[in-house]
Each structure stands twice: as C-alpha cells, then as structure tokens.
Chains A and B, each alone.
Chain A
C-alpha cells in the first residue's frame, strides 16, 4: 500500500514527552533517551552488530557490520533517538521520511534490555521528538504474530489500517 492510500486516524494521538528523558527501568538500571548525535555512531553500530538475529524483523537490522553501517547511514535522513545505559547504546528508534509527507517508524531494543519498559519510553520519546520537528503522519509495519509489539504500538495510539498481508500496517497522527 502506498502512502496516499493509507488511512490515518482523524484525531491526534496527543502529545508525547520530548527527549532527553531519563528513567529507571524495571531492572533498576538508569536509562536515558536522547536524540541521536554524530558522536553516537559507533555505539549504535556496536548495538546492532551484537543484535540477536531472532529479533530481526522483515530483514532489518542487517546481519553484518558493513550492511548495518549502510543501512544506518540511510536512516540519518530521518529523526533518530537512542536509549543509553551509561555509555552503552541499548535501544534505537527512528522515523524515516517517505514520499507522501509521512514517516515510517521502527524501534529496536537490545536483547539484554528487553521486557524492562525501555521500548515504551523510547517509542514515546521518538514521537515527542517527531512532534517537535513537525512530523504529523507516522506509519509502520509489524509481523502479525508479534503481539508484544502490536500491543506497544496500540498503547501509544497506533491504529491498524491494513492486516491483509503477512505484515500488519498501522498508522498514527501526531
């Protein structure tokens, strides 16, 4: 489905907190969410190179370091936020602009830091960062068996706009 056909909710999903944000996760770790900066590259690449291949979705993140670098470089056209535990990057979320004044969203949390509430904060921080930078329409696809991710997206206001394919497509208006 291309962007001009996609149906967005009429109402705004509301406002989201703008990063930097800090919080304590469910494992008592101090986590900070900040907009991506140039000096963050190596830490983020290191997170993705170490990423559990079972957590890959629809071919991303790529499996090898050189392909991770190429892929991540292309994301820098968009808006990016990173979750940090000290100087270790443990999560990353991105909004990549498309052709129809919309942005595609993706979020990844390193396997050592999942199920600790980080994804929810990171997602909200990304939407806050997007809202502050004029993003209005956000969409994503998620594998339809990934109930945890679908629940997370619904919790911030994403609505399903197509579920006929292997992937469920969801959209949100900021």
Chain B
C-alpha cells in the first residue's frame, strides 16, 4: 500500500508518525511523510523534519519526506488524489484537560474531503 502521512507538529501528529512508521515497516507499505504548516502547532517545519528523520533512522526504515506549503488540509487531499496514494494517515486528535478528544482543523477537513481512506491514529 502507498501511504501518505500528514504531520504538522502537534503531539498527536508525532504519535501518529511513530505508530505509522512502525506499522508501515511491519506491513511493507510505502510511506511518504508530508510536513504541513499547522498554525495550531509550536514546532517549526525544520524541527519536525529532524524529528521525522530521527524516527525513521531509529526504526531502520526509509520513507520519502517532503514539505507541503499552503492550506494543509486541501494540500493533503490534492496530493493524495494527484499522486494516487491509497490512504492518508493523520494524528487522531488532542485531549483537553478533561480528557475529551478534540480533532484539529486539518483532520476535520481531510475526513470530509478525502477521496481515499483516512486513518486517524490513536
């Protein structure tokens, strides 16, 4: 399977990175990691890329890493369609102090607009 992981630097996207790399390695999937600009995250795109490369190295797995500019949700959906990805994976939401799951704006947009299956990683 040809998998597109969108990552914007929020805690849930970092967890999605770790789990998706592990899963792709086990399943023998091809993985592309798309670093997007999430205004809700404090991490810089460079900081995220370092984190992605460290995670790939630790897992001894190779993936394509690219930066995507513009509106994150629509760019991910367009990219998946244009380049024939089978699935998009994203972080599955942050928890509030109460423990309530709150989906980010990127996840909401992708869920409603993606032409391919979307996985929210918990």
Contacts and interface: CB of A to CB of B under 8 A. Distances in A.
Interface of A: 57-60, 62, 71, 74-75, 94, 96-99, 104-106, 141, 164-167
Interface in B98-122: 98-103, 105, 108
Contacts of A74: 99
Contacts of B26: none
A59 B97 contact: no
B38 to A, nearest CB: 13
A141 B102 contact: yes
Interface string B78-101: 000000000000000001111111
Given A165-B108, A166-B108, A141 B99 contact: no
B99 to A, nearest CB: 5
A118 B111 CA distance: 36
Given A165-B108, A166-B108, A60 B100 contact: yes
B99 A59 contact: yes
Contacts of A60: 98-100
Interface string B55-98: 00000000000000000000000000000000000000001111
Contacts of A75: 98
A58 B108 contact: no
A94 to B, nearest CB: 7
B21 to A, nearest CB: 24
Contact of A165 (B98, B100, B102): B102
Given A60-B100, A165-B105, 7 more contacts: A59-B100, A62-B99, A71-B99, A98-B96, A104-B97, A165-B103, A166-B108
Contact of B97 (A57, A58, A98, A166): A98
B104 to A, nearest CB: 9
Contacts of B96: 98, 104, 141
B102 A167 contact: yes
Interface in B5-42: none
24 contacts: A57-B100, A58-B100, A58-B102, A59-B95, A59-B99, A59-B100, A59-B101, A74-B99, A75-B98, A96-B98, A98-B97, A104-B97, A104-B98, A104-B100, A105-B98, A106-B100, A141-B100, A141-B102, A164-B105, A165-B103, A165-B105, A165-B108, A166-B103, A166-B108
